[in-house]
């Protein structure tokens, strides 16, 4: 199995060689590199003429049989719309999208491996890479930092084992904030985010330090992001590409409060 460093190197190379609108990546198109590296297709057999759909929601909601009227279910229709949007942005036919994404797990070194743990490290690495490329150069972005080293005495009641911070932002050696990266948010781990935010902010106060806490995600399910979006501790929930959720998928109610990844990158200039 590839090491974490090997995975970060591989996924960064994939990002850098991805297809971007107008050719060169910028903050607003960083999502394209992330999706081409990590987004995958879910196999479907219930839709004539299709063998898969972009995995934007739990697989069972993409693999339902068609409605009694022979129409796509709501999440199937959203996945088709996401596919069309990507095709428009990358100026290719929609039938080509499945072959343009999931490039990390298609590498021979990852054949047969479980996606979950690899996805977590790779997503954090790409968020960091985007911040490094397009964000402030006056701060540092550090991956998988031991929580009790960065914040001595921190206690996370919802976690077991050693706590790790996905991305720790520092300026001149001082902690500035945390970005917790979650490609998707499990329904049984939603409370972990709010508890973690409070634990780290409380620990920071022991050194008279105020930190920010953001959650970066690719979650589309409103039920799974409602609590982080409304939590008073969390400073913002960042989506890989907000327009895919609010405009393409039509989830512009509760999820209108998402920040786009490009907005987080812009905010880094204030850190």
3-state SS, 74-115, equals HHHHHHHHHHHHHHHHHCCCHHHHHHHCCCCCCCHHHCCCCH
Task: Report the pLDDT averaged over residues 135-161.
Answer: 89
Give the model's confidence band at 19: pLDDT under 50 very low, under 70 low, under 90 confident, else very high: very high
For residue 55, give every residue at least 6 positions away whose Cβ sits within 8 Å of its Cβ, in sequence order, or none: 39, 40, 41, 42, 62
Give the model's confidence band at 158: pLDDT under 50 very low, under 70 low, under 90 confident, else very high: low
Closest CA to 105 of 3, 217, 10, 18: 10
Give the model's confidence band at 253: pLDDT under 50 very low, under 70 low, under 90 confident, else very high: confident
Q: What is the pLDDT of residue 208?
A: 76
Q: What is the pLDDT of residue 157?
A: 75
Closest CA to 37 of 114, 127, 112, 113: 127
In this structure, the chain runs to a length of: 271
Q: What is the pLDDT of residue 162?
A: 79
Cβ–Cβ < 8 Å for 245, 239: yes
- What's the whole-model pTM score? 0.96
Task: Report the pLDDT averaged over residues 141-166.
Answer: 87
Give the model's confidence band at 190: pLDDT under 50 very low, under 70 low, under 90 confident, else very high: confident
3-class secondary structure, 212: strand
Q: What is the pLDDT of residue 22?
A: 86
62 to 15, 51, 57, 72, 148: CA distances (angstroms): 27, 11, 7, 9, 40
């Amino acid at each position: 199995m590839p090491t974490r460093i090997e995975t970060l190197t591989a996924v960064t190379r994939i990002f850098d060689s991805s297809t971007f609108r107008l050719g060169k990546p910028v903050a607003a198109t960083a999502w394209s590199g992330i999706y081409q590296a990590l987004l995958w297709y879910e196999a479907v057999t219930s839709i004539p003429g299709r063998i898969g759909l972009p995995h934007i929601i739990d697989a069972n909601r993409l693999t339902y049989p068609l409605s009694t009227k022979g129409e796509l279910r709501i999440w199937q229709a959203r996945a088709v719309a996401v596919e069309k949007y990507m095709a428009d942005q990358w100026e290719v036919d929609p039938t080509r999208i499945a072959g343009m994404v999931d490039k990390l797990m298609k590498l021979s070194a990852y054949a047969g491996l479980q996606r979950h743990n690899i996805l977590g490290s790779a997503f954090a690495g790409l968020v960091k890479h985007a911040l490094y490329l397009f964000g402030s150069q006056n701060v540092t972005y550090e991956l998988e930092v031991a929580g009790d080293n960065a914040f001595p005495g921190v206690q996370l009641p919802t976690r077991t084992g050693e706590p790790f911070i996905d991305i720790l932002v520092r300026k001149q050696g001082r902690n500035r904030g945390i970005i917790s990266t979650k490609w998707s948010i499990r329904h049984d781990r939603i409370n972990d985010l709010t508890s973690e935010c409070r634990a780290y902010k409380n620990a920071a106060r022991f050194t008279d330090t105020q930190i920010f806490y953001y959650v970066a995600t690719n979650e589309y399910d409103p039920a799974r992001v409602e609590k982080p979006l409304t939590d008073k501790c969390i400073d913002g929930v960042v989506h890989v590409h907000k327009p895919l959720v609010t405009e393409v998928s039509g989830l512009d109610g509760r999820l209108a409060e998402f920040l786009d990844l490009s907005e987080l990158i812009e905010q880094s200039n204030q850190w």
